[in-house]
Structures are given as structure tokens and as C-alpha cells.
Structure 1
Amino acid sequence: MDQEQEFYNRGLEKALAGDFAGAVREFDRVLRINPQLIEAYYKRGRCRFELGDRTGAIADYNQALQLQPERTEIYLSRGLTKLALKDNAGALADAEQTLKLNNNLAPAYSLQGTALRRLGNLAEAIVSFKQAANIYLAEKDKQNCQRCIDSITEIQAEQNRAQAALATHTGFYYQVLQKVQRGKLTEAWEDLNWLIQADPNDAQAHSYRGMVLSKLGYYQQAINDLNQALQLNPQILQAYCYRAMVRMEMGDYGGAINDCNQALQIDPSYIDVYIYRGKAHHKSANHRLAIEDYSRVIQEKSDDPQAYYQRAVARLDFEDLPGAIEDYQQAANIYFNRGDWQQYREILDQIKKVQSRPRRYQRKNSADFFSPSNSTSLSELQNQLIRMVGGYRDIADRLVDIARYKYPGMPEEWYWEKAIQDLERDR
């Protein structure tokens, strides 16, 4: 027996004994002697798969198929390895290539069914599993036949759940939007893929998927989905808003404004459009029009902190520093009343940054603000205000800083008592 055969046989023995690492070493020796031995590549690939080296296994199967491209068992092994690597499209291609070579192989149909199922092609997956079950039955392989039947039953249950979800689109969309809000964008995208596969003419699903794709950074794919949504339903206002948002991300501010204008032609009362158009005007450096759009939102939704915040930013660029401060403070008050301390503190920080800018405008002092009691010490006032803002000293300091900016030249106790009275009034 020559060395090549001896190493090969030892590799087989070690593989059968479960010593896959030892088997790989023996097949390495074989291939150093004869790098054209297909069986050694194939067997080494099987051992590498068992060791968890999926990439190494693929490389061995590729090498074997280059030497002999009509070996069905190698395509099957490579397809199963691709499944393990979640390359479902690659696994499907290997299954289909196997069936071209031999259309009576149950494992190939089973592999095809698994790949189709993972890709969401449930009806086609059932056909593949049925074909595999029939062949296994003819071969009297009851165990694998039953496994295919079980897969069919599971897929049919998935289809039933899908039909139930399609019957209640509103609930389905609500779940998708909840996932978006929690940052589970990939899950939301997969849900919408499935829904569109079930109903390709669902304009709302295309609109939501466009929004999710934009959040994932796939702007051109998002535009394609939103175009499809509007082609299916030109009256879907939400899609115009989402497309405007994507176009802004792509720097197409004129296109974003046009989208908003189209939405407003359909429904001038759709107030959310003004937020998007305001942002587009602002990015186009047309701050006056941006302020007008945000003001329109505030007229209709006076408790919208984002509208005040966006108008504050536009007013800053419009060099209306007092107006910007007022809008920031209004947004902060809304967040304060809602108990949203994170947003509240962030806006107070922004106010402080703005106040550090050189002043072009100066408020006049007023004598009729309120009359301080003069009966409470500074430390008592400080403790009272800090308690009122939940123990956050930095928030209390910001409120006093705002009072100092608005009304310069007053005593320190006056500012603390003014901040206390403002909070009590706003509550």
C-alpha cells in the first residue's frame, strides 16, 4: 500500500471514530502527495464542517467541484454548509444545481425546501418538501419522510398566521412601528418584506418599508419603495413625507419641498407635512419660510415640543436670538410638564450654549415682574427649587441662568424666587 492510500485510509478511520481533527491532518498529508484527489477534498470538507470550520469546508468543496463539477453529493454538502452560514440563496442555488444533475434526489428537494422556507417562499417550499417526502416514501425511509411532512405542517401553520395577520393590517402595522420605535429596524424590515411578499400591491407596506430602509441608511432602496407606494396609491400622504425625509438625507432639498407641496395639495390640513417642509426650507437656508412652517404647526399643535425646538433652531440662523430662547424655553416647559427629564435637560444645555453667544438683542428690564417676598434666605430658596426639579441641581441652575438672562441686574435671591414662581405657574 503506497503512502497516499495509507494516509487516506487512516483519515477515514479517524473520521469514523469521531477524531475529525486527526482526520483533517491525514487528508492534509494525502493532498500534499496528490493535490488532484477529489475524495480527499470532499472528506476533509466534511470533517471541517464537523469541527465548525464552515469557511474551510466551503473551500474544500469548491476545490473538489472544480476538479469534478458533476458530483451531486458535493453540491449537497456545500448547500448544507451554506445553510449553516445563513447563505440561503447560495444553498438554494446548490440544491437546484443538484436537481439539474439528478431530479430524483430526496435530500436535494429537502435542501431546496429549507432554503425556500427561509427566504419566505412558503408555497414553493411546501412543493419541494412534498417531492422529498414522496421519494423518501418510495425508498421506505420513514424517518426522513416524516421529517418532511412535519416541515410541511409547520409551514402551513405559518401561512395560516400570515393570513390572520393580513386580515388585521392595522394591528400588524402597529407592531412594526413599535419595533421601529424600539430600534429593532432589521426585525421591522423583515416583517414588511414578508407582508409585501404576501401582498405586493400593499402601498402602505411599501411606504413603511421605505421609511425603515431610510433609517437603515439605504436611501436609494427607500426611494424605490416610496415611489412604488405612490404608484400604487398616489393619495398616501405618509409616503410623500417619508420620501421628503429621504431626499433631505440625500441633499435634494428642492425635491423634498416638492414632495411636501404635493401632499399639501391633496390635504392642506395634514399638519405634519409642515414639519418636513420646514426642515427642507431650513436646510435650503430659507429660514424665514422654515419659521412660517413651524409656526403653522404650533398654531394647530401648541403642545408639540419638537415644533418649538425646530423653530428655535431656525430663529437662531435667522439671527432672532430672543425668539430662539423663547422657543427653546417653551419646548423645555412642555418636556418638564411631561416629566421627560432627559429632553428637558438637553434643551436647557442648548439654552446655555445659545446664551454664551454674543448678544445682538437686549431685553428691557421690567418693573412689574413680581414682588419678591424678601423673607426667605437664599439657601432656602435654592433648596426649594432643587426639590421642585427632582433633586437635579444642574436643572435648577439652568432655570436661574435663564432668569438672569431675561432680567439682568436683579439680586440673586430674586432670580431663585422667580424660577420657583415660573415653575409653579407652568404646572
Structure 2
Amino acid sequence: MDQEQEFYNRGLEKAQAGDFAGAVREFDRVLRINPQLVEAYYKRGKCRFELGDRTGAIADYNQALQLQPERTEIYLSRGLTKLALKDNAGALADAEQSLKLNNNLAAAYSLQGTAYRRLGNLAEAIASFKQAANIYLAEKDKQNCQRCINSITEIQAEQNRAQTALATHASFYDRVLQKVQRGELTQALEDLNWLIQADYNDAQAYSYRGMVLSKLGYNQQAIADLNKALQLNSQILPAYCYRAMVRMEMGDYGGAINDCNQALQIDPNYIDAYIYRGNAHHKSANHRLAIEDYSRAIKEKLDEPEAYYQRAIARLDFQDIPGAIDDYQQAANIYFNRGDWQKYREVLEQIKKVQSRPQGEQRKNYSDFFSHAKSKPLTELQKQLITMVGGYPDIAERLVNLARYKYPGMSEEWYWEKAIRDLERDR
């Protein structure tokens, strides 16, 4: 027996015994002697697959097919390896090439069905598995026939689930949001994956999935989904806010503000956009603009507790302790009326923390420095500042009071001009 055959036989023996690394070494020896031996490439590719070396297996199958391009089993082995590498389109191409060479090959139809299924082409997948099952049945291969039938049953269940979801979008999304609120993020993600598989153009599904992915910490994937949602439908306002939320997590406060601005261009009364933009301003230490946005949200909806809560935090950073306590109390009252006891208790804890601050800090109430008589007609400067803060005289007063506190001894006009200049600078 010549060395080539000896090494090849030893490779087969070691592969059969499960010593795939040893088998690869023997096939290496064979190919050094005869680099044209198709079987050695093919067998080495199968051993490399078993060792987890998918790339090496593909390289061997490619070499084998260059030498002998009509070997259906090599296409099938390469297709299965591509499936393992999540190259579903490549696996489908290999299955189809096998069927061109032999249109009665059950394994090729089975591979085709698996690739179609992973690509989301469920009707085509069922047709392929039916073809495979019929051939396996004719060959009296009961086990593989049953496996194909099981795959068909599973896909039909997937179709029913997707169709049910598509028929009742509103209730489906409600259930997803309920899962998110309960912290069942993985289950919510699974539901949205099914929905997107059923309809690749469902912008709302991408929007919700982006939100869930962000909560799971997958920020880049979340951004990709939200971009896709807005590409499909630029009018989905929550997608802008979800993307703003992710960008804030990534430290991109300017991008977050821009997203909220885009939402407000579509709907100037969209409350969530004001709250998220307020959050972005707050995180970038622009407390005045944050307070303006939260106030605008409250103006649009007086019983929005999140706006009061966030404005309280911003007012604390703005050293407006009484205003912060007032806002916390408003949020607590709303949560109490809604019966949301967890949130109610959380807000009460925040009030206690603020009230437990040293008395000197609590007394920083800038309204003590407000000296002009409210009964007097408003000056042009006062009107300008009130307009700049969204028509809220209390916010304008607090800005002027802060200037009085920091710069005592200046004229009344100077304080109002200073507040206006600071706002213009921060915009």
C-alpha cells in the first residue's frame, strides 16, 4: 500500500473513532503528497467542522468543488456549514445548486427548507420540507420523514402566531408593553422578533424592539432598529423619543435633543418629546431649558406625573428647593389618585430626602429676593423673558431671583436683562 492510501485510510479510521484532530493531520499528509485528491479535502472539511473550525471546513469544501464541481454531497456539507455560520442565503444557494444536479435529493430539500425558514420565507420552507418528506417516505427513511413533518408543524404554528399578531396589532403591542413593564424583556423581544419575521416592513415593531433592546443594554442594535423604523415611517413619534433615550445613554445629548426636535416639528404638542428633551437638557447641565420643557409638558397635560417628577429634579439642581418639593408633591398626588402605590412611595421618599437637607440649604428660596410689585404693568423686558420661558411668569421670576441672589446691588432692569442673556446663551 502506498503512503497516500495509507495516510488516507488512517484518516478515515481516526475520524470514525472520533479523533478528528488526528484525522486532520492524516489528511494533511495525504494532500501534501497529492493536492488534487478531492476526497481528502472533503473528509478533512467534515473533520474541521466537527472541531468547530467552520472557516477551515468551508475552505476545504471550496477546494474540493473547484476540483469536482458536480458533487452534490459537498454542496450539502458546505450548505450545512454556512447555516452554522448564519450565512442563510449562502446555505440556500448550495441547496439549490445540489437540486440542479439532482432534483430528487431529500437532504437538499431539507437544507433548502431550513434556509428558507431562517430567512423568514415560511411558505417556501413548508413546500421544501414537504418535498423532502415525500422523498424520505419513498426511501422508507421514517426518521428523517418524521423530522421534516415536525418542521412543517412548527412553521405552521409560527405562521398562526404571526397572523394572530398581525390581525390584532393594538392588543399585541399592549401585551408587549405589559411584559416590558413587568421586566419580562426577553419575552417581549421574542414576540417582536416573531412579528418582524412575519412582516419585515412593520415600522412599529422595529420601534418597540429598539426600545426593548435599549433596556437590555444593546444600544447599537437599538439604534439600528429605530433608524429602520423611521426609515419605514418617519411619522412614528415614539421612535424619535426612544432613539433620544438611547443616545442619552450613549452620552450623545445633542443627538437626543435633535431627535426630540424632529418629533416636535411633526407634533408641537407631543408631551413625551418635551420630557425627553428636558432630560437631555438636564443631563447636559442646562437646567433652565430642562425646566422650560418639563413646564411645557405640564401645560399640555396637567396630570403627567413624570413631568412634575423630572422638573423637581431639575429644580433641585437649580437650587430651587421649595419649587422642587412642590413638584414632587404634585407627582405624588397624581400617583396616589391613580393607585400607583409603588411610584407614590418612591416620590414620598424623595420629598423626605429633600426635607432632611440642612436648614440653611432649604432656605435658599429665591422668591425672598423678588422685589418688584406684581401689581405694576409688565415692562418690555419682563414680557420678553416670560415669552422666552414659554409664558410661565413663575419660571421668569425664579430666573430673575437667581440673578438677584448671585449679583446683589444691581438695578432691576439689569437682572431681567441678565436672565434674558443667559437664556439666549444656553439655547
TM-score interval, smaller chain: 0.5 to 0.7
* Matched-pair contact (CA < 8 Å) for 1:7–1:27: yes
Tell me the equivalent position of 1:225.
228
Number of residues paired by the alignment? 353
Distance 2:188 2:308 in 1: 30
Tell me the equivalent position of 2:415: none
SS of aligned partner of 1:54: coil
After TM superposition, give the deviation of residue 86 of structure 1 in Å: 4.9
Post-superposition Cα deviations, 1:236-259, rounded to whole Å, max 9, x if no partner, equal: 543453355456664325533423
Q: Show CA shifts across 1:293-325 (max 9, x none).
A: 323555745582x43442133224544355446
Quick check: 1:92 aligned with 2:92?
yes
Quick one: structure 1 residues 253 and 163, their matched pair in 2 at CA, closer, same or farther if it must change by over 3 Å? closer
The equivalent of 1:163 in structure 2 is 163
Measure the CA separation in 1 of the matches of 2:353 and 2:43. Answer: 65
Aligned equivalent of 2:115:
115
Partner of 1:152: 152
**Structure 1 residues 12, 256: closer, same or farther in 2, change over 3 A?**
closer
Check the 8 A contact 1:274/1:297 in 2, yes or no. Answer: yes
User: Which residue identity is paired with 1:258?
Assistant: N
Unmatched segments (≥5 aa) in structure 1? 365-427
| 2:52 alignment partner AA | R
Cα distance in 2, alignment partners of residues 360 and 156 from structure 1: 65
Which residue of the partner structure matches residue 11 of structure 1?
A: 11
Q: Which residue of 2 aligns with 1:288?
A: 288
Give 1:230 shift.
3.3
1:279 partnered with 2:279 = yes
Q: CA deviation at 1:205?
A: 2.4
**Alignment map for 1:19-418 (pairs within 5 Å):** 20=20, 22-50=22-50, 53-55=51-53, 58-69=55-66, 70=69, 71-84=71-84, 86-137=86-137, 139=139, 141-181=141-181, 188-200=188-200, 202-212=202-212, 214-215=214-215, 216-218=218-220, 220-228=223-231, 230-231=233-234, 234=235, 236-245=236-245, 250=252, 251-262=254-265, 264-265=267-268, 268=269, 271-282=271-282, 287-297=287-297, 300=301, 304=305, 306-324=306-324, 327=327, 338-339=341-342, 347=350, 362=364
Q: Distance in 2 between matches of 1:172 and 1:320?
A: 43
Q: Which amino acid aligns with 2:119?
A: L
Structure 1 residue 160, shift from structure 2 partner = 2.2
Q: Helix, strand or coil: the match of 2:46? A: helix
**1:48 Cα deviation (Å)?**
4.3
Cα 1:256–1:207 change in 2 (3 A) is same
Measured in 2, the distance between the counterparts of 1:287 and 1:142 equals 71
Mark the CA change 1:11 to 1:342 in structure 2 (over 3 Å): closer, same or farther.
farther
Name the amino acid aligned to 1:252: G
In 2: Cα distance, 1:287 partner to 1:98 partner? 66
**How many angstroms apart in 2 are the aligned matches of 1:203 and 1:58?**
36
Determine helix, strand or coil for the equivalent of 2:219.
coil
Percent identity, please. Answer: 70
Unaligned runs of 5+ in 2: 367-427
Structure 1 counterpart of 2:63, which letter?
A: Q
Shift in CA distance, 27/202, structure 1 to aligned 2, threshold 3 Å: closer
The offset of 1:156, in angstroms, is 1.9
Structure 1 residues 226 and 85: alpha-carbon distance in aligned structure 2, compared to 1, 3 A threshold:
closer
Tell me which moved more, 71-80 or 180-189.
Answer: 180-189
**Closer/same/farther in 2, CA of residues 344 and 245 from structure 1, 3 Å limit:** closer
**1 CA distance for matches of 2:347 and 2:285?**
27
In structure 1, C-alpha distance between the alignment counterparts of 2:43 and 2:349, rounded to whole Å: 62
CA distance in 1, matches of 2:31, 2:276: 65
Q: 1:159 to 1:179 in 2, by over 3 A?
A: same
Q: Secondary structure at the match of 1:110?
A: helix
Q: CA deviation at 1:77?
A: 1.4
Shift of 1:110: 0.7
Distance in 2, matches of 1:349 and 1:33, equals 83
Contact persistence 2:120–2:198 (CA under 8 A): no
Deviation at 1:213, TM superposition (A): 5.0
Q: Flag the 1:363–1:148 CA change in 2: closer, same or farther, 3 A.
A: closer
- What amino acid sits opposite 1:310 in the alignment? Q
Q: CA 1:339/1:75 → structure 2, altered by over 3 Å: closer, same or farther?
A: same
Q: 2:411 is matched with which residue?
A: none
Distance, in Å, in 2 between the alignment partners of 1:34 and 1:161 is 54
Q: Deviations over 1:183-238 (max 9, x none)?
A: 6656544533432343455443243234345553136524433324535xx4x543
- What is the alpha-carbon distance in structure 2 between the residues aligned to residue 203 and residue 113 of structure 1? 27
Q: How far apart, CA to CA, are the structure 1 residues paired with 2:93 and 2:350?
A: 55
Q: CA deviation at 1:59?
A: 0.6
User: What do residues 142-187 of structure 1 show as CA deviations (whole Å, max 9, x unaligned)?
Assistant: 5434432332233223222322233332332233324444666565
Residues 247 and 256 in structure 1, CA contact (< 8 A), matched pair in contact too: no
Partner Cα separation in structure 1 for residue 246 and residue 213 of structure 2: 10
Residues 14, 241 of structure 1: CA spacing in aligned structure 2 closer, same or farther, 3 A cutoff?
Answer: closer
